RNA sequence: GGAGAGAUGGCUGAGUGGUCGAAAGCGACGGUUUGCUAAACCGUUAUACGAGUUAAAUCGUAUCGGGGGUUCGAAUCCCCCUCUCUCCGCCA
């Protein structure tokens, strides 16, 4: 959520920054300001009334103490109808505030000044490229073929157990997935100094609001119901990313400056309804309803947000480097960034069988946008309360990493060579039919 | 699922209708004392919103788990919800 004070004081600046996203959000600023002004006007009125009521009530208390009942009754009559006026105004204040906040909740974050201007993914600048596309001395198969051949994933039975877009990992496939999770966690824990957390996978609405998933993207979530109790629908959701619970760990808290930076790493499956993407449009495991991910979250002092973002991207890149994969880092332009983000880097790994790059990580600094939504603050050494920066990044998503891995390291004989760092976890250097 | 207990400031804990935003203790911070440390003593010690100011000061309102109600007035009375704890049942 944007700071209403910033909007009040620098409306033009906010409008201009929002406009760079190209979604027309800046058009809602005036309405938000109108409700805000309305709220403050009514608030002034009602507070004045409350002050007078408090004054008289105190006088009544004094009179009662002096046993002057008649005088007290007279005072009571005097204030009796103030209560009704207060109730009416209170309601109007609440309505104005709700109207204002409803708009604010749907406004995306302001892009950071360093973000490239652009309309769509085509305008995203490539920041750097690591390695080169592997030159297979044969026509590389795509991961669906490889998975069939090596019996890594049973797509048909996965769909039978759940539905289209759900996977059944089998044999070496299941083991490879688990090995990757373990490898990623160990890397970030031991080499990058993140603290591991394992969050609930069923989370409440507040988490979804806090990170900005709700109210705008409510249709993308899997809602959970308790048994047959329809009234529980809307309380709990399957997490779309571990960012939702983990970023909310310190919701409604005031952190001491000395506690920062906080770095969390969490493995979790991620559930995405992908409503509107009928049939998901993609073959295999590139776009699915459930996938595994290792997520990185940081809470840092505001002046360290961008420095920490660069480090986070580097942490995610290390994953791909260790696994011997070719990738590129792109920066999302203003028109392509996510709702809560002020600056985002995507990491795209090369998948030879697809002949394209796949997004396996998205690292963002959301600045104080989410902190304001979830009321997360920090107390500086001087005793001031300020909003920290909240960062999230994939470190990395698993399904697509799996794709890139088997497609990159496939051999002419149909086997898949396992990169060195994974071998201890997998207890083999090669997956053969 | 059944029965019961509880939720007050950074912490412990008093407060059952009226100067209570809230005693006391602890902690923290500032000061006095001291060669230093400790102790002792004095003082300060919540947040949000709004008004105000260049910035402060200052003023107002709200906040005692959350929401609603009764009342001139609610931490205190009533209702609903959430969470925590104890016991029983069930269960990975």
What is the band of A225 on the pLDDT scale with cuts at 50, 70, 90?
Answer: confident
Which nucleotide is the nearest neighbour of A36, by CA and C1'? B50
How big, in percent rounded to 5, are the helix, strand and coil portions of chain A? 45, 20, 35
A46-86: pLDDT as tens digits: 999 999 999 998 888 888 877 788 888 888 888 888 888 89
- Strand A377-379 and strand A254-256: the pairing is parallel
Which nucleotide is the nearest neighbour of A97, by CA and C1'? B49
A269-305: pLDDT as tens digits: 999 988 766 555 567 888 999 999 999 999 999 999 9
Give the C-alpha separation, A390 to A361, whole Å: 17
Q: Which residues touch strand B (CB under 7 A)?
A: A 4-5, 40, 43-44, 47-48, 50-51, 53-58, 60-62, 64-65, 72, 76, 79-80, 82-83, 87, 377, 383, 385
User: CB of A352 within 8 A of CB of A408?
Assistant: yes
What is the band of A114 on the pLDDT scale with cuts at 50, 70, 90?
Answer: very high
Å from the A235 CA to the B81 C1': 13
User: CB of A160 within 8 A of CB of A371?
Assistant: no
Positive or negative, the Cα torsion across A91, A94, A95, A96?
A: positive
- Looking at residue A82, what is its pLDDT? 86
Query: Would the pLDDT of A306 be above 80?
Result: yes
Å from the A205 CA to the B7 C1': 23
SS (H, E, C) A331-355: ECCCCCCCCCCCEEEEEEEEECCCC
A273: Cα separation from own chain's centroid: 16
Contacts for A98 with CB less than 8 Å, ≥ 6 apart: none
A123-157: pLDDT as tens digits: 999 999 999 999 999 999 999 999 999 999 999 99
- Looking at residue A61, what is its pLDDT? 85
Interface pTM, i.e. ipTM = 0.87
What is the band of A237 on the pLDDT scale with cuts at 50, 70, 90?
Answer: very high
- Looking at residue A281, what is its pLDDT? 55
Q: Is the peptide bond before A396 cis (omega within 30 degrees of 0)?
A: yes
Which nucleotide is the nearest neighbour of A86, by CA and C1'? B61
Which nucleotide is the nearest neighbour of A383, by CA and C1'? B29
| Residue A365 burial class via C-beta count within 10 angstroms: exposed 0-12, middle 13-18, buried 19 and up | buried
A233: Cα separation from own chain's centroid: 22
Mean pLDDT of the A335-359 span: 96
SS3 at position A248: coil
Q: Which domains does chain A have, with CATH numbers?
A: 4-106 (1.10.287.40), 121-431 (3.30.930.10)
- Looking at residue A79, what is its pLDDT? 84
- Looking at residue A277, what is its pLDDT? 60
- Which nucleotides of strand B come closer than 7 angstroms to any CB of the protein? 18-19, 47-51, 60-62, 69, 71-73
- Looking at residue A280, what is its pLDDT? 53
């Amino acid at each position: 959520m944007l700071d209403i004070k910033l909007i009040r004081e620098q409306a033009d600046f906010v409008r201009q920054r929002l406009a760079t996203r190209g979604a027309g959000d800046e058009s809602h600023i005036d309405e938000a300001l109108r409700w805000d002004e309305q709220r403050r006007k009514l608030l002034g009125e009602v507070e004045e009334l409350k002050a007078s009521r408090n004054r008289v009530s105190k006088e009544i208390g004094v009179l009662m103490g002096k046993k002057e009942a008649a005088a007290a009754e007279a005072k009571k009559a005097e204030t009796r109808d103030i209560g009704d006026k207060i109730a009416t105004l209170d309601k109007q204040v609440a309505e104005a505030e709700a109207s204002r906040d409803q708009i604010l909740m749907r406004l995306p974050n302001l892009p950071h000044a360093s973000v490239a201007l652009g309309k769509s993914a085509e305008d995203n600048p490539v920041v750097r490229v690591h390695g080169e596309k592997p030159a297979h001395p044969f026509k590389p198969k795509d991961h669906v073929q490889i998975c069939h051949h090596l019996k890594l994933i049973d797509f048909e039975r996965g769909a039978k157990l759940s539905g289209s877009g759900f996977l059944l990992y089998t044999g070496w496939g299941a083991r490879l997935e688990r090995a990757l999770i373990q490898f990623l966690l160990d890397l970030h824990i031991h080499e990058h100094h993140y603290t591991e957390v394992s969050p609930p996978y069923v989370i409440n609405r507040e988490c979804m609001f806090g990170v900005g998933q709700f109210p705008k993207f409510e249709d993308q979530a899997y809602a959970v119901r308790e048994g047959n109790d329809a009234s529980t629908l809307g309380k709990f959701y399957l997490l779309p990313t571990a960012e939702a619970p983990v970023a909310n760990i310190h919701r409604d808290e005031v952190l001491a400056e000395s506690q920062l930076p906080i770095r969390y790493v969490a493995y979790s499956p991620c559930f995405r309804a992908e409503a509107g993407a009928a049939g998901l449009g993609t073959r295999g495991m590139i776009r699915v309803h459930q996938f595994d991910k290792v997520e990185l979250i940081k809470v840092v002092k505001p002046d360290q947000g961008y420095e920490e973002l660069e480090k986070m991207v580097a942490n995610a890149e290390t994953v791909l480097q260790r696994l011997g994969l070719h990738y590129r880092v792109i920066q999302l332009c203003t028109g392509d960034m996510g709702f809560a983000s002020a600056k985002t880097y995507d990491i795209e790994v090369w998948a030879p069988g697809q002949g394209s790059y796949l997004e396996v990580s998205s690292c963002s600094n959301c600045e104080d946008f989410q902190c304001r939504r979830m009321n997360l603050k920090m107390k500086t050494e001087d005793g001031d309360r300020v909003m920290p920066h909240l960062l999230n990044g994939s470190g990395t998503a698993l399904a697509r990493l799996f794709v890139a891995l088997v497609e990159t390291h496939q051999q002419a004989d149909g086997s898949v060579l396992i990169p060195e760092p994974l071998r201890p976890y997998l207890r083999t250097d090669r997956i053969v039919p």
